[in-house]
Structure 1
């Protein structure tokens, strides 16, 4: 008994041609063909330097929100945190500099105002020697009896003059006495002078004695009239214990 087992594989002409070409490429003339394509690799020094450059924050280019080339996530987070901290420190330093500059400016302005005030007082001293800023306190030139009398009158005037301290009144009285006035005349003149001084409320009865264009007064409204013009808000009489005057309030 016999049996015939046979198998066949169909190979196309193209596949046969490819196999033949590969065989010829490898064993042409009986020698294997060597692939001479060069592969470039970094030297040890270059690899080390590249790693140092990649890990150094100053050697990494910030891509403005994108990933930093050559850095791991941990390195990138550390670099971002360092940059944020530097920005915060820079902002605080800038604010501190501005605050310091404002303080220095205020100090310079105060010094300049003081210098101008001294210069003005020196010029005023050519007319009134008592205005000389370098002159000693006039109270040191009074006798003990005069000083006691001046202090007594100063206490009395301080109760009648709002906004004036006893020390300021005492100094002004001393200047008048040292200047040659008797104490009674000095008290009257100083009282009238300080009563109408700028920056203080003027008695209405003293308004005619004041030559300034602007004054401050206090009083009670006695009468209101109908305005005679559309631009007038109110018109009437205001009075205090020293007198009364007409007041016109214009619309803004």
Structure 2
């Protein structure tokens, strides 16, 4: 049978005091050195009384009219900060719900936008007189017979020109007729002008007349052949009812592949000249779309 003996050394309070006395520091004369700045600690009674003084309304003396009676400095700072935050939130809420404030803001924004647009059109009028917002409607100078003819031709051209309204076509046509051009020549000139305007899909046969580096075309890829240059992804011919031209797709453009006989619409194609002939190239800035691809119902 095993047993465990536990020995505990119990030291009395007097012995602990005697041991601390032996550890006391003495000076050269043999006298004990006493700390002249002892650390004072509050008793339990003092701590209890302090809590009573801090929390009881009758235990704190009001020293200032600006102080919050019955609160410590830390509590007072928290209260002041919270009150200031609530005032700020209340002010924002009141300003945000003013009657008509939202509508006035929209009106101001719309007015400034119109002013900037008018200023831009005035600057553009130095290059293109049609852009002048203050010019009079040229159709007011036409006779009744000329105005009727302009309206008829404008309605007919609007069916052939995508993206142009009848009013815009009629205004431009009236300006040309008012300048002295006969009706037939005015119709042909305005049609070609608006047909090749920026942003419009240009007939391939009219590419030579376009004075821009980038054009948009819509046609059918009629032929593709292999290229000897590794920088070219595809090369071939694209055509529509007005003509055909050479089409080059650069390897770095990351554009989708085209198939022979497929209809392709290209926006932002780069127009080039080679040996006196115009051609187009698809770059990384171009957009290639296939209007008839994926038409499973056909």
* Both proteins in one fold, TM over 0.5: yes
Where do 5+ consecutive residues of structure 1 fail to align? Answer: 1-43, 62-67
User: Is 2:213 aligned against 1:209?
Assistant: no
Classify the secondary structure of the residue corresponding to 1:139.
Answer: helix
Which stretches of structure 1, 4 residues or more, deviate above 4 A after TM superposition?
A: 78-93, 103-110
**Aligned-partner Cα distance in 2 for 1:203–1:157:** 16
TM-score, normalised by the number of residues in structure 1? 0.60
Question: Deviations for 1:198-246, whole angstroms, at most 9, x for unmatched residues?
Answer: 1111000100111211111111211222232222222221111111111
Distance 1:219 1:55, change over 3 A: farther
Distance 1:132 1:109, change over 3 A: closer
Classify the secondary structure of the residue corresponding to 1:184.
Answer: helix
User: Is 2:52 aligned against 1:48?
Assistant: no
Counterpart residue number, 2:152: 152
1:99-248 superposed matches below 5 A:
111-121=115-125, 123-124=126-127, 132-248=132-248
**Aligned-partner Cα distance in 1 for 2:76–2:136:** 79
Classify the secondary structure of the residue corresponding to 1:244.
Answer: strand
Distance 1:248 1:89, change over 3 A: farther
**Aligned-partner Cα distance in 2 for 1:89–1:232:** 66
TM-score, normalised by the number of residues in structure 2? 0.52
Distance 1:104 1:229, change over 3 A: farther
Q: Is the 8 A contact 1:237 1:246 kept in 2?
A: yes
Shift in Å, 1:192: 0.9
Quote the RMSD (CA, aligned, Å): 4.0
Return the structure number with greater strand share.
2
Return the structure number with greater helix share.
1
Instruction: Decide which structure has the larger Cα Rg and report it.
Output: 1
Total equivalences in the alignment:
189
Question: Deviations for 1:7-37, whole angstroms, at most 9, x for unmatched residues?
Answer: xxxxxxxxxxxxxxxxxxxxxxxxxxxxxxx
Classify the secondary structure of the residue corresponding to 2:249.
Answer: strand
**Aligned-partner Cα distance in 1 for 2:141–2:72:** 80
Distance 1:90 1:169, change over 3 A: same
Shift in Å, 1:133: 3.7
Where do 5+ consecutive residues of structure 2 fail to align? Answer: 1-57, 254-298
Q: Is the 8 A contact 1:53 1:60 kept in 2?
A: no
